[in-house]
């Protein structure tokens, strides 16, 4: 089977999927801005930043995917092909790690100052991104660990009256994000049908989350 970005069908589905995910990410980001402007609730502010960073991670993931389409693009920007995957993982690793860290902080912001969080989060995100660029499995492992931490903290710190299925949605949402990263690692791509199924489920989860956010802002 030809590489994903050399196959018109695979490329078309990747474009559609990426655009839909980006649209929903930034739609949630700007939708929650209205709620934050009304309430000035810090938890909402950090929650919305999750989707800003998540969207940026997808932007860089897709940009590097486009660059990898042909050798001609690689020649134009003077980056050797062997360096493309580490570079892609470096940027996506940083932004996706920041996304999950902001998700965690949206629950624990009362216990940690924003200045301390910003410094620690950026240092941790850079370290994970560099380590991931050197060894992609490290990225997948650290993302999985952070996801577990986000869900556990959400369950522990939220009051029972406010506890909902949001934590489960977060887990599924970012689990499919990890799977989407696996798809661009050479030699690990799933077949076309499985990829489409995962992308459809992922988009559905974004849609459900956007629906819940829309209800909060009314």
Q: Where do the domains of the chain lie, and which CATH numbers do they carry?
A: 4-216 (1.20.1070)
Cα gap 167→173, rounded to integer Å = 10
pLDDT tens for each residue of 112-148: 888 899 999 999 999 999 988 888 778 778 887 887 7
Cα gap 88→61, rounded to integer Å = 6
84 versus 30: which is more confidently predicted?
30
What is the per-residue pLDDT for 182? Answer: 64
**pLDDT for 19 beyond 80:** yes
Highest average pLDDT, of 2-6, 69-73, 98-102, 105-109, comes from: 98-102
CA-angle at 75, arms to 133 and 18, nearest 5° = 55
Positive or negative torsion for Cα 183, 74, 127, 30: negative
Distances in Å between the Cα of 113 and the Cα atoms of 42, 119, 209 are: 11, 10, 27
pLDDT tens for each residue of 38-77: 777 787 888 889 889 988 988 887 777 666 655 555 555 5
Residue with tokens 């969080």: 117
The pTM of this model reads 0.81
pLDDT tens for each residue of 153-198: 777 766 544 545 566 666 666 766 676 666 655 545 567 777 788 7
Query: What mean pLDDT do residues 150-154 have?
Result: 77
Cβ contacts of 141-149, under 8 Å, gap ≥ 24: 142/97, 143/96, 143/97, 143/100, 143/174, 143/177, 143/178, 143/181, 144/178, 146/97, 146/100, 146/101, 146/104, 147/100, 147/171, 147/174, 147/175, 147/178, 149/104
What percent of the chain shows pLDDT beyond 70?
69
**pLDDT for 9 beyond 70:** yes
**pLDDT for 27 beyond 50:** yes
Mean pLDDT of the chain: 75
Of 17-21, 77-81, 113-117, the range with the lowest mean pLDDT is 77-81
What percent of the chain shows pLDDT beyond 90?
9
Distances in Å between the Cα of 118 and the Cα atoms of 122, 135, 139 are: 6, 25, 20
> Can you count the helices (H) and strands (E) in the chain?
8, 0
Positive or negative torsion for Cα 15, 17, 20, 22: negative
């Amino acid at each position: 089977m030809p590489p994903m970005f050399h196959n018109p069908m695979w490329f078309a589905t990747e474009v559609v999927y990426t655009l839909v995910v980006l649209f929903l990410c930034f739609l949630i980001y700007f939708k929650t801005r209205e709620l934050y402007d009304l309430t000035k609730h810090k938890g909402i502010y950090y929650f919305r930043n999750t989707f800003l960073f998540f969207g940026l991670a997808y932007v860089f993931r897709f940009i590097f995917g486009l660059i990898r389409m042909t050798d001609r693009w690689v020649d134009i920007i003077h980056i050797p092909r062997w360096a493309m995957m580490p570079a892609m993982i470096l940027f996506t690793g940083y932004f996706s790690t920041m996304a999950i860290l902001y998700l965690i902080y949206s629950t624990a912001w009362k216990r940690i100052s924003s200045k301390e969080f910003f410094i620690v989060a950026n240092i941790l995100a850079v370290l994970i991104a560099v380590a991931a660029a050197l060894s992609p499995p490290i990225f997948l492992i650290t993302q999985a660990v952070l996801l577990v931490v986000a869900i556990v903290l959400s369950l522990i710190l939220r009051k029972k009256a406010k506890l909902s299925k949001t934590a489960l949605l977060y887990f599924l949402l970012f689990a499919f994000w990890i799977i989407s990263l696996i798809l661009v690692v050479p030699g690990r791509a799933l077949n076309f049908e499985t990829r489409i199924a995962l992308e459809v489920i992922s988009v559905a989860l974004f849609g459900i989350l956007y629906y819940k956010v829309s209800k909060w802002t009314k």
